[in-house]
Amino acid sequence: MDRSADPGRWRRRLLPALLTRLVGRGDEGATAAAPRRSNPDAVVDCAVYTAGRRAAGRPHYADAYAQARRQRRAFVWLGLHEPGAAVMAAVGRAFGLDELSVEQALADGHRPTVQRHGAVTLLVLRTAAYVEHAELTDTSEVIDTGDVLVFLGERFVITVRHGASGALAPVRADIQGRPGLLAEGPWAVGYAVCARMVDLYLEVAGHLERDLERVEESVFARDRSADIQHIYQLKRELVEFKRAVLPLQAPLRALLEQRGDGPPPGLHRWFVDVEGRLTRAVERISSYDDLLNSMLQARLAQLAVDQNNDMRKIAAWAAIAAVPTAVAGVYGMNFTHMPELGWRYGYGGALLLIAGAALVLHRLFRRSGWL
């Protein structure tokens, strides 16, 4: 067919095809120019969970939150480890956290507590880990502690961890294998984190018990090799452990008593189980503190007895040394008329007197237990 016969007809056919190809190339260029967003280094993991199942991939936290809000029974779990101010500020803007929550997430050394910031619940816990050591010294680090802050919203949970201890990777792996529990929403993650921390407390308490047994054996051994500085160091580490565990009792109990803003009814019994295990850990730590106090008092009493024995020995030897001092003092006064000054055996008699008196005193002190 001749194109010159109807040039307008060919233009009407070719122009839309050319426009379509040009637009397609433009879209491809735009897609290539906009790289996929990646999570910052502080993000340990980020995932969307729908009906207890994890969605594939590890999207940017902002995209993950937008995806969770579009789906029913979905939420996002963002895990952070020691984020910087810029990262935490960006996370706060993406999830709608207030300024106070962002500031709390940047600091460490918090006391265990439960706070309510608008529609977000903040759960603060302390982490604990046992530091292996060959022997206990006066500078040994026995307990390593840190912080975990859990922000619980309607469609998200953000965990912020400070310190080397208390890694949450085992928590994520365990709860992902329990979809029925994870289907309860963000509070299921809150329960899993609490359960993990309490399990760590019980694990550390078991290691501390073995340290206490070794110290107790050395305190009451015949050689008494236990140094009081070692006991003080172990007590300092135990005090740090108590500060991490004991304050959690009141917030956890208050959490169980909340209505509406607390855990859903399906998780109530799981939190009750965590409270029971926490009580067991607190009781064990309190008993360790009492035992350490008893060992410390026993060691101080032993030191007092040892010092008393040393003082008795010093006094006994001082009394024995006083005999020649007294004899020499009497005969060293250089008076003209003194008995036995002209005696031929006076010098030998004086020495025999000194030796005999010292021997008698030594036997008396040995019999009385002073020497």
| Per-residue model confidence (pLDDT) at position 340 | 66
The confidence score (pLDDT) of residue 17 equals: 44
pLDDT above 50: residue 121: yes
* pLDDT at residue 179, rounded to an integer: 92
| pLDDT value at residue 30 | 34
What residue segments make up the domains of the chain, in order of their start? 43-302, 304-368
CATH code of the domain occupying 43-302: 3.30.460.20
Is residue 140 very low, low, confident or very high in pLDDT (cuts 50, 70, 90)? confident
Determine the distance from the C-alpha atom of residue 202 to the mean position of all C-alpha atoms in its chain, rounded to a whole number.
12
Query: How many helices (H) and strands (E) would you count in the chain?
Result: 11, 7
Q: Residue 248: count other Cβ atoms within 10 Å of its Cβ.
A: 26
Provide the mean pLDDT of the chain: 83
Residue given tokens 């026995």 in the structure block: 142
Evaluate if pTM is beyond 0.85.
Answer: no
Mean pLDDT, rounded, for 250-277: 88
CB distance 63 to 37 below 8 Å: yes
Task: Let me know: does 134 contact 232? Beta carbons within 8 Å.
Answer: no
DSSP state letter for 246 = G
CATH topology of domain 304-368: Methane Monooxygenase Hydroxylase; Chain G, domain 1 (1.20.58)
Q: Mean of the pLDDT values across residues 289-318?
A: 82
Instruction: Compute the CA torsion angle 339, 344, 345, 346 (nearest 10 deg).
Output: 30
**Dist CA 83 CA 282 (whole Å):** 31
Measured CA to CA, the distance from residue 359 to residue 371 in angstroms comes to: 13
pLDDT in tens, 355-365: 888 888 888 88
Q: How far apart are CA 146 and CA 124, in angstroms?
A: 11
Residue-level length of the chain: 371
Please state, in angstroms and as integers, the Cα–Cα distance from residue 28 to each residue in 16, 25, 36, 63, 236, following that order: 18, 5, 14, 21, 64
Under a CB-based contact definition with an 8 Å cutoff, are residues 189 and 272 in contact? no
Strand 53-54 versus strand 74-81 pairing type: unpaired
